[in-house]
Structure 1
Amino acid sequence: MGQYVTLATCNLNQWALDFEGNRDRILKSIYEAKSKGAKLRIGPELEISGYGCLDHFLENDLYEQCWDVYQQIISDKKTHGIIIDIGMPIIHKSIKYNCRVISYDGKILLIRPKLYLANDGNYREMRYFTPWTRARYHESFQLPKSIAQVTGQMRVPFGDCILETLETTIGAETCEELFTPQSPHISMALDGVEIYTNSSGSHHELRKLDVRLNLITEATKKCGGVYLYSNQKGCDGDRLYYDGCACIIVNGNIVAQASQFSLKEVEVITATIDLDDVRSYRNQKSAQLQAVTQPHNYSYHHVETDIEISPSQNILNSFVRLSNVKEISYHRPEEEIALGPACWLWDYLRRSKCAGFFLPLSGGIDSCATAVIVHSMCRLVYSACEQGDEQVISDIKALTHDDTFLPKSPQEIANRLFYTSFMGTENSSKETRQRAKDLANEIGSYHVDLNMDKLVSAVVSVFEIATGKRPTFKVFGGSQTENLALQNIQARLRMVLSYLFAQLLPWTRSKSGGLLVLGSANVDECLRGYLTKYDCSSADINPIGGISKTDLKKFIKYASTDFNLPILNEFLEATPTAELEPITHNYVQSDEVDMGMTYDELSRFGKLRKVDKCGPYAMFIKLYHEWSQSPYNLSAKQVAEKVKKFWFFYAINRHKMTTMTPAYHAEQYSPDDNRFDLRPFLINPRFPLASKKIDIVVESIEKNERELKQLTLSVD
């Protein structure tokens, strides 16, 4: 016979503590879901407050404001006639919980607290909330007086329950619960739940979307059912970009998928499915046997309703069509770099209401990549304006202080919002200066080309007057100490100039406001500490601080063709150099030579240190087995030297991470000390015990190799 039901999920670009803005986006998503005929709408995790409120979740008035907003939502008659599942934090018996609040026609049906909290990496949920550790248990929750007056209810169920309509049962799991070994959807499926909802606050990491989507598809491939996934999308005020990708899965097949990256504040997707397809799929004897052999106390409390979500006339309605199976959409890593940080920058700019961005454009690959990401942002804004996105058009007019402005190209946007500068010295080459100028011209930034030699000389002269000594570069006979100090003077003065220009450049063009200074230190250089503390890597935000040099090069190659910027090939062919030392006929400063390791090696060190959680000894063992083979063919001693060198420089430069510019999180081995990588910044850089253990292993390997060689010679 068939039981057709239309379901809706969404991406919402929520902002921490923006209660009224969050309310409006929630309402818009509900209206849109209803207009598409949906009978159930779910939204992202903690969508009323915004997911990333951090320690604001410790403030009691945040919870009161959430209830104020929730009251306004359910009081709106236009939200009636559809089951709405909304995320918000709630205090129950003086304990703070991360909850889903499910309602219909202005009445709360169930409050479902989160069972398992995300508490590693970028997440600290147990700092604010307590998990509901009692599976399949519920209590009675007394509603606030203001809500009770609206709903006419005094108490509602609070706990791990499922919702029962006239046709089916609906169960909720929240974000992290999907990633646990015994996910709630398994026990819910065995108790007859046919529709699962998952409201999430999942952030973007390069090459990680497939992990999430694989878990979702596998959930219903194994158990059968309909899975509705909702996620936040955008920057809600911190280092993360929540990458949307709301989707609807039926029996392991995707039938609707929203975008992973876009400037849309509200994106609603719907699918019409046949509940009979779930029941047919579950017609497996093994699954049925597991279901009926569950202990009686494993049953969920059913919140019974008389809600009809699959009206009988649906099957007779010629306009109702079942949704077709689709291919899952993924972006290549190069596209992820082009889109994720660009969307993050746009949210940061429009919400900070600054006049634009300022970037020290050196002519190297890192600042080039940062500039191209801003160009990508301008392309997205231009495209959204062409498509008539009212929010983006309103934002661009507000940022430019021009109510008539409608861009005719991405370059026209950049000319209004993006400022770049080449801050040259006598150590800069003509080639890097020209590359910076040419790139600025191609992307349309307002570019300033300057020399700062007089400023550098003045600082050196102040030191000479005070001490009677004048430092000299190493190539001219100076010591390493002098050489490093002279490089740092240039780097730090660029930071000072950056903030000066960021404050005054709009003023020189008779424009109001200041600029956000962009940093351009990549994740590998941060890990190694190959940057000057408080140099031009010290900025307001950094879109590439979580991206490796290897990935940045791939991104630039991609952008050279997809963005039609052939100038980018010149950046790829150039030797990476800081240009802080004099260029002579037989010496040009090289980043990889200075660091004593390649960028590819740094990426490997970073992943072993952070992702695989290796200390120096464990790292050596892994890398010996890896790098002693072709194509590396390194000896145990060579591997040991590389590992020791990495850990030495990592340790002595760890203090720099305490002051790093807030960066877009894109890589699992990010060394961000402020959120992601909590380690001490004063440690013994020699790691003496680990070094001794490594030396013992190296000696043993070399002894075995000598004995094997002698044995081979004797046999010959």
Structure 2
Amino acid sequence: MKDGFIKVAAITPNIKVADCIYNTEKILEKVHELSKLHVKIMVFPELSITGYTVHDLFLQDVLLEEARNNLIKICNETASIDAVLFIGLPLEVKSKLYNVCAVLHKGKILGFVPKHYLPTYGEFYEGRHFAKGKPEYEMIRFNGQDIPFGMNLLFTCENMEHVVLSAELCEDLWVPCPPSTFHALNGATIIANLSASNEMVGKTNYRQNLVSLHSARLICGYIYASAGRGESTQDLVFGGHKLISENGSILAESKPFTDDVIISEIDVNRLSFERRKMSTYSSGSFDLPNYDCDNNNYCNIYFSFEKEETALSRQYDKHPFVPGNIQLRNERCEEILKMQAMGLVKRIEHIGIKTVTLGISGGLDSTLALLVCARAFDILGLDRSGIISVTMPAFGTTDRTYNNACKLTNTLGATLKEIPISDSVIQHFKDIGQDINVHDVTYENGQARERTQVLMDVANKTGGIVIGTGDLSELALGWATYNGDHMSMYGVNASIPKTLVRYLVGYYADTCGNDKLAFILRDILDTPVSPELLPPEDGKISQKTEDIVGPYELHDFYLYYSLRAGFTPEKTLRIAARTFEGDYDEETLLKWLKNFYRRFFSQQFKRSCLPDGPKVGSVALSPRGDLRMPSDASSRIWMDRL
């Protein structure tokens, strides 16, 4: 349970309809098996003790008594099991029969949650046997104990504050306003759904979308366990579909028609972080009949888990900004390029200009910026010759990058302007007393600022604006010269991380339909990332950015999970060690994570005065609409944890 992870499971035991003894044995087998795997939340299907398809046998005293007796047996045989169990059975209360979920922990029944929405069509005629559950809870007597009975029950872990559980049953999810909506608004972070949903063509995909989107809307974990082949009787077939979802992401899903178990870990700390971020996530913003969103009508039942570290089975993407699915990745790349271009289109239209200026280096960032400019000009119906692409050779420029910059500009039909800056920089060094043989930060930044001055003046001369090329990763690390490449009139790459820049350029190469352009773009992709501010060695790039600040794939990983997901430094390191196992050792991961936090805090002053740029993803660092962070905030408590 370290770092907010809690191991959960959805289970479909192989049952026999109306055989409570057999079904209970199968349930207990799974409980003991999963307990050895340290699963803390186990969800079984609807009416799993009796079976769902017993029809009018639900009215038989024999079946109801056996269901009660076998629930008591489960309690007795799980007294040492440190897990919360959600198990379905029919339960008679005040001469009414209810389809309920019994919630157990260490042999104790914490509460009974009745189903509210009873289907009354086809084979699913539950209204024939069951009464509707009510939101208001009451205390009922069961096996010599007073136990809460009602829909509005929250099961809260006292020693893990973000673990708040609730339950709903099958059809409750499929209605326009599910009960779990109110459970979540009153604090539930994990919803258990005990279901007996039959299979039909297309229903599996619909169910998957339903669970995924519902967990996203509620910002919750959702565990869905449906009845399996043991229920397949008469006119219906049951597939045992199981899903574990977290805030819209499917963490685990069963194969069709399998009575098995799925296991994953839900991150309740992240769910809490996401809810804190969303100011509209509020229980008092609306009200509906029979529900009280202000928590006056909810019963909190408390329990405690034994503390232990949760072993992780879930996977994290090495490149969280880049979709893993190739088709989705291509769609996302096209969407992002359009968003970047349309942001620039608006700026050009508003100012009323016909030219833009940007520095072209033969590197990835300036390449992407030039491609975006070309798209924007095409949308506006402007001649691409209005794109003034300026190459400014200096002390660190290599033939490879210079040639690629020139070829790229000419192939796209932009205007190439070559302005060598070495003489200007040498004169500037003389003016300020800088020894040209001392390759320090002044040596590097003097070139960067000279380039920006040239671009600004060329833009003035041609009646345009300067397009910034710096990306999100560089902004996060402060890897930019203040008032050098840090400054522009519009930064089209401002919310594009370096790992995504690479995919965008690669996508353009694959889809442009121009072999010459594609060849140039692929050579740029193969070129080491470098600001080229130090003299080359044997004609090759000597200054490689990732040797200095660290691998961008690590920094983008750290940026996403620390800023977007709100992970603590130690949690970020933990999942990085798991994700990059075999690529980097933990010492290397820790080294660059420390560097990330150090630079992220110390370089905020550069981000406090960023130019405008289009936001295309969920992580951005604009001081106006995204990251409101003091320029002088201390990193001490974050660094101390590392």
Into which bin does the TM-score normalised by the smaller protein fall? 0.3 to 0.5
Kindly name which structure, 1 or 2, has the bigger radius of gyration based on alpha carbons. Answer: 2
Q: TM-score scaled to structure 2, two decimals?
A: 0.48
Q: TM-score with structure 1 length normalisation?
A: 0.43
More helix by share: 1
